[in-house]
Structure formats: C-alpha cells, structure tokens
Amino acid sequence: MANAIPSSVNARVGEVTERIAVRSRDARGRYLERIALAAERGPSRAKLGCANQAHGFAACGPSDKAMLREGPGANLGIVTAYNDMLSAHQPYETYPELIRTAARRAGGTAQVAGGVPAMCDGVTQGEAGMELSLFSRDVIALSTAVALSHQTFDAAVFLGICDKIVPGLIIGALSFGHLPTVFIPAGPMTSGLPNDEKAKIRQLFAEGKVGREALMEAESQSYHGPGTCTFYGTANTNQMMMEIMGLHLPGASFVNPNTPLRDALTTAAAERAMAMTALGNDYVPVGRMLDEKAFVNGIVGLHATGGSTNHTLHIVAMAAAAGIRLTWDDFSDLADVTPLLCRVYPNGKADVNHFHAAGGMGYVIRELISDGKLHRDVETVWGGGLDAYTQEPMLLADGTLGWREGTAASGDEAVLRGAGAPFQSTGGLKLLAGELGRAVIKTSAIAPERHIIEAPARVFHSQEELQAAFKAGSLTGDFIAVVRFQGPKANGMPELHKLMPPLGVLQDRGHKVALVTDGRLSGASGKVPAAIHVTPEAADGGAIALIRNGDMIRLDAVDGTLRVLVEPEVWAERAPAPANLAPSHVGVGRELFAAFRAAVGTADTGASIFAV
C-alpha cells in the first residue's frame, strides 16, 4: 500500500484496508517486484529482434510502419471485446480507428493487439451456454495475455463492458501490470420499456396470462438499441467500478454510445494512455495503480450503489491478479459502514440513464469522499487522486471536450441520495453464514419484510426441475427452493435468473419464498430473497448436498445467518445426495471445459482457475 491512511478516512474503511495490506504483503511484494522488472526492460519493442518487429508492423501503412520501425513514439495496444452479440459491445466496431487517429496525433501508433471473446449473458440466460459464462472470464484473461504477449506496446487500452469481460480484461492486464492501462466504455443504450414493466410482462407470461407475442414485444422495447442494457446489473456495476477505481476518464461510464461526447471521450482516453507511458514523465503502470486502496474503493462503490452480487466473485479474482488477497469478511465489514445511495433497477424503478441524469458517478464519488468512505490518495488514469472524479465531461462551444464540477445535489432523490440521508445505512450486499457454510444476498433489492424467511426446503438439482414443478402447479405454500449442484466445479456456476419470474409470481401470490443455491444470479435479479454462491458447493462436499425436502431452513439477512433447523444428531447422520452431472459436461462446448471444472477454486476465493 503506497502510503498511510489519512484520519479523514472512516476508521472501519481504514482498518479493512490495512488488514488487506498486511494479509497481502508477501504476494503483493512479489507482484510489484515482477512488474518493476518488466518495466526495467524498457519498451519491450526495442528489445525484440528485427524479424519479430518486422512481423509486428508488416501490415501497417507507411507512416505507422516508419514510426514503429524508427520513431520514438509510443505504441498503444488495443484489446477489444467487440462483437455484434452484445448490444453493449457492438459500438466498439469503430473504436480502433478513432484510437489509431488519436495515437498518431499524439506522435505514436496504435494497433489492435488482439480480441477477446465476450458472452452476452442475456442471450445465454437459462440456456446451456450460461454454464460457460463464468469460465469465460478466465478465458478472457488468457486471451488478453495472448494479445499483449507480442510485447510491442507501451500502454494498453481495453474495450470491454459486460459481466465477465471487464473482470477478465483486468486479470489479464495485471499480468502486464508494468503497462499503463485505460478502460474505454461505450455507454448505456437509451431508455426503453422500463425494467420493472418488462419484469411484470415476464411474470404474466409465466402465469400464462399473456402470450409470446406480448413478451417478445416487451423484451424488444426494453432491449432496443446499441449500448449496455439499462438495468444496474453486472455490466453497469463494472462501469461504476472502473470509474471509482480510476481506470475510466472521469464521468465516462454512462454517456450514451454514438454521440459526439462519447467519441470525444474515446479519443481523450487514447490520448491519456499515450501520455502515461514510460516514454514520458507521467508513467502510471496499472499494477501499481490497482493497490489495496483502489480495490477497497471498488468494494465501497459496489455497496453504495447496490451493485451486482457477481462482484463478490470478480473483485476477489481481480485483486488476486495484483497480489492482493480479499475475503468476503472484507466485503461484509465494508458493507456495515457504507451507505446505500442509489435505487436503480433491480433496486428500484430507475435505470442507469436516470442515475446519470440525477448526478451519476460524480455525485456518488463526491458523497462517499465527503463521508470518508473512499480513499482519495490513489493513482488514476486521469492523473492525481480521486477528487478529480467528482467532475463530469461536456462538449465546449467549439466541440472540444471539457470537464465541469458535477452536481452537488441529487437531481432525483428517488434515485440518488446523499450520504447524510441514504436509502439504508448499510451496503446493498450481505454475507450469510451457518450450517451450509457461507453465502451472499443482495438486500438492497428485497423488501424489508422479506429479509427473514423461514420455510420448508424444496430441493432441485436444476433450474429446469423447478420451472417444471411451477408449471405443474406443485409449488404451493411457503418454501425455500434449494437449487444445488450449480457451483463452479459442478457445472460452471450458471446464473439462475430465469427462476425469478416463477418465484416472483408465487411471492406476489402471498407465499413466503426464497432461493438457496451454490449457483449465481444475474446482477439484474432482485425481489426474491436469494442466498447465493453457497460455499462449499454441493459438488465439493458442501453441506447443501445434505438438505432434504421438508427440512426447515431460515434465511436471515438481518443477522446474517443461513440456518438448517434439523436436529444436530439427525444432520450428522445425513449422507450427501448423489447427482448426475454428466449432462452438464457435454454439448455447447462444455466438453472443452473439463480442465476448468477440475481446476476452478471456491466462490469465496473468486471461483478462478488461476492459482490464488
């Protein structure tokens, strides 16, 4: 950790930060030595042989070729997750040329170092492909390393937004932590059918009250154009994190795509990357920049905005790549002192465009700094500490990019509140513990009267089994659905977001329902109390495999417990239920991921295939 913690920082935030630094000292020390050594070698391009270098610029135009062959200018590596499948990534198709132009104007060059795969969790939700989703994060990290392994770059810019893509890019980038790194967002699609309206139509469809035509119309009005989906799920939580951790330009996250301001921000991001290389005087390697304070700022931002539960996995895995050891206790202890400042779907009716218009990231950062909950003395791509991130970008009269101080007052108290009068005094996520081990629950999306649920277990070994029981009308009364063998080793830890409509229907009919699973949920999941990421998972000897239909379970998000109310001597005699996982290990490419299922770690260590 670069420097001492000022007294203006909240005591708990300071204490958690310090204990992370102590816990991580050896691993972080080894990591910093590694990137310092990599930096010493200077711009790697100069160290490559002639043939190696010639291959790298063979296809360039004459001016880029001359620059790369002789010029002193920096070469920017672009790692892109462009594809047409993700509405959020489709705008990236045109970004490389914008970035090349900016790099040339800055006296250097830019090349697409490589592409990384990007899965749209919306397309695979509820389908077999979702069982590759979490693993795709680590595939993206591996692909990032392949791209940057050409070692002809002095800095890197990353084009990635959605769920597993930003975490995977960060993990890969940190293997090249000696390089300055800037993340370039593309922004949210404009607002369509409100997310809560969409969710209502889904429940009506689940009940057979509307047909597929009405459902398709609602979905198409909701997801209607280029840009990130407008709910506050994992993708938009990624944008929040990139900004609060200083990897975006200030205020860049939620400007809509295909606008002059968005293009100006993309150009400015490339210019910043060119200015931060070791060839100049403002060298900021990403591996040094992402220190304990930066990750604590990311976790505080997660809690303050009611961000995605997936980040209890991703932030742990990202930090490990920088030699920083995070635990779920760090998340839990920071949640206790972080006010919830945002109500954005699924935590409310607003979407991210409303959030941005009400004051957005600049307001959130201003409020959390003034409340002592963020570290200001951090490095950022903008240069200097976090104070600059209370600003927002704008186009000046001459069309150039400028920045102004963001609003000091929320533009909509129903969406965004100050730290002095938050929606709740603690963060949006809570850790649970009990006989099943540990789990995560997003409290910010659940009505207070549903924070404690005690009901008999109904056990399922797949989301399809639960959906079939719902269709057959056999899900009656109060129950806690235990959907197990959905952990990383079992089947890649899919999101079980398709269970929300049927469980939501039963909840709206007045039943007390909840979900307990070793799988995940979407960041867009809300409303139904869900204890997820149960660790250890069923396929790894976890006690969740001992539960039987009818066992009384108590999920208590107030005192942070997940209890199985079975006599201890009966519980001790239980044998784990068997499960046939073979159908999940073949088809849609899953047969290629056996090594991932064998190597993947536990949810509370980031569910990563990389050694922690």
Instruction: Point out the annotated binding site.
Output: 162, 229
Q: Which of 122, 339, 519, 601 binds ligand SF4 (CB under 6 A)?
A: 122
Q: Which of the listed partners (ligand 6PG, ligand SF4, none) does 566 bind, with a CB threshold of 5 to 8 Å by partner kind?
A: none
Q: Which of the listed partners (ligand 6PG, ligand SF4, none) does 308 bind, with a CB threshold of 5 to 8 Å by partner kind?
A: ligand 6PG
Q: Which residues within the stretch 155-214 sit at the binding site for ligand SF4 (CB under 6 A)?
A: 162-163
Q: Which of 86, 275, 352, 429 binds ligand SF4 (CB under 6 A)?
A: 86
Q: Which stretch binds ligand SF4 (CB under 6 A): 115-123, 277-285, 326-334, 382-390?
A: 115-123
| Strands of the sheet with 181-183, listed across from one edge | 109-115, 75-80, 155-159, 181-183
Instruction: Please report, in range form, the residues annotated as the binding site for [4Fe-4S] cluster.
Output: 162, 229
User: What is the DSSP annotation of 452-490?
Assistant: EEEEEEEEESSHHHHHHHHHTT---SSEEEEE-S-SHHH
Closest CA to 557 of 423, 457, 429, 435: 429
Q: Which residues within the stretch 227-266 sit at the binding site for ligand 6PG (CB under 6 A)?
A: 229, 233-235
Nearest approach, Cβ of residue 19 and ligand SF4 (Å): 34
Using CB under 6 A as the binding rule, whether residue 529 contacts ligand 6PG is answered as: no
Q: Which of the listed partners (ligand 6PG, ligand SF4, none) does 310 bind, with a CB threshold of 5 to 8 Å by partner kind?
A: ligand 6PG
Nearest approach, Cβ of residue 574 and ligand SF4 (Å): 38
Q: Give the contacts of 253 (CB within 8 A, at least 6 positions apart).
A: 185, 187, 236, 239, 240, 242, 243, 356, 360, 361
Quote the tokens at residue 597.
Answer: 């299922």
Per DSSP, the three-state class of 237 is helix
Q: Which stretch binds ligand SF4 (CB under 6 A): 32-40, 83-91, 281-289, 462-470?
A: 83-91
CA distances from 361 to 3, 149, 351, 382, 386 (A): 25, 34, 14, 15, 12
Q: Give the contacts of 568 (CB within 8 A, at least 6 positions apart).
A: none
Quote the tokens at residue 317.
Answer: 């895995």
Nearest approach, Cβ of residue 313 and ligand SF4 (Å): 16
Nearest approach, Cβ of residue 125 and ligand 6PG (Å): 4
Nearest approach, Cβ of residue 233 and ligand 6PG (Å): 2
Cis peptide before 536 (omega within 30 of 0): yes
Q: Which of 91, 122, 180, 192 binds ligand 6PG (CB under 6 A)?
A: 122
**What do you get for the CA distance between the two ends of the chain, in Å?**
19
Q: Which residues within the stretch 221-260 sit at the binding site for ligand SF4 (CB under 6 A)?
A: 228-229, 233, 235
Polymer length in residues for the chain: 612
- Closer to ligand 6PG by CB, 122 or 434: give it: 122
Q: Which of 52, 53, 125, 327 binds ligand 6PG (CB under 6 A)?
A: 125
